[in-house]
Amino acid sequence: MPTAGSAFSWSILFLMAAPYAVVGAAGGWLFYLYRRAPSRRGAHTRGSGRVLRILGRGLCLRCPRCGRAALYAGWFAMHPRCEACGLRYERAQGYFVGAIYLNYAVTAGVAVGAVLALDWVIGLTLAAQLAVGIALAALIPLAFFRYARSLWLSVGYLTSAGERREHERLRRRPRSQG
């Protein structure tokens, strides 16, 4: 018979595991796209170059479609659209909620990993473990905020076929000369 304490532990475990499930599902979807995407060399080769190129643009805080324009106007202020190709960054209100999960997963992984590694190497006291863990849990989300949003935007671009079709249609359209 479960007690109140064990139910609380399971709920905490669920809250900690949910972001990893979301990130894992996104990673699985990207792997699926990687296996199915054709490249320039032919329909039977993998599209890993395209996936890596778009994720690389995300890590460089650039537009996932063209890679020419910066995503951010300031530290936390994002441009509404790409200045070069016109890609709208925030599709709907709440679009970047997934970036919060990504940021949480990175924060939890780095903070817990650092505390465990430091404890293993130098043997921290409980007070020192809490101090290091709380400091990392407060600083990592601020440092990774821009990258989490940028990577989420890149994943969103990779998984939206409509965006790519619209971009290809605009690229093929003959330019007016005048």
Phi-psi group of 86: left, alpha or beta (phi > 0 → left; psi -120 to 50 → alpha; rest → beta): left
pTM above 0.75, yes or no: no
Percent of the chain with pLDDT over 90: 13
Region 43-65 average pLDDT: 78
State both tokens at 48. 């890993």
Looking at residue 79, its amino acid is: H
**Dist CA 23 CA 134 (whole Å):** 23
Judged by average pLDDT, the poorest of 24-33, 35-44, 108-117, 166-175 is: 35-44
**Dist CA 125 CA 110 (whole Å):** 19
Beta strands in 54-99 (DSSP E): none
State both tokens at 100. 């919060």
Burial class (CB in 10 A: 0-12, 13-18, 19+), 80: exposed
